[in-house]
């Protein structure tokens, strides 16, 4: 599921998720999302459409990294 939603989240045309950055400094991207011991999915509604964002759990400090995104269109 992570691969399916990563492309939509990080390369979307309506909304684009920023790469998650943990408070401890760990930065996640499509390649190292699999290093996370867990991943949560968060639905958001934008312009009447539902999009899925990815919130990984940091392998360093074990905190869930909240998703942030930008609206493109």
pLDDT score of 65:
97
Burial class (CB in 10 A: 0-12, 13-18, 19+), 62: exposed
pLDDT score of 34:
85
C-alpha to C-alpha distance for 27 and 23, rounded to whole angstroms? 9
pLDDT score of 2:
81
C-alpha to C-alpha distance for 20 and 50, rounded to whole angstroms? 20
pLDDT score of 44:
95
DSSP 1-30: -HHHHHHHHHH-SSEEEPPPB-TTS-B--T
From first to last of its 73 residues, the chain has per-residue pLDDT tens of: 787 888 889 998 899 999 999 999 999 988 888 889 999 999 999 989 999 999 999 999 999 999 999 999 7
């Amino acid at each position: 599921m992570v691969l399916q939603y990563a492309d939509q989240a990080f390369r979307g045309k309506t909304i684009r998720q920023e790469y998650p950055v943990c408070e401890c400094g760990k930065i996640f991207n499509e390649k190292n999302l699999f290093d996370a011991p867990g991943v949560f999915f968060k639905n958001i509604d934008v312009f009447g459409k539902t999009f899925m964002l990815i919130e990984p759990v940091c392998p360093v400090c074990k905190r869930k990294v909240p998703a942030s995104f930008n609206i493109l269109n």
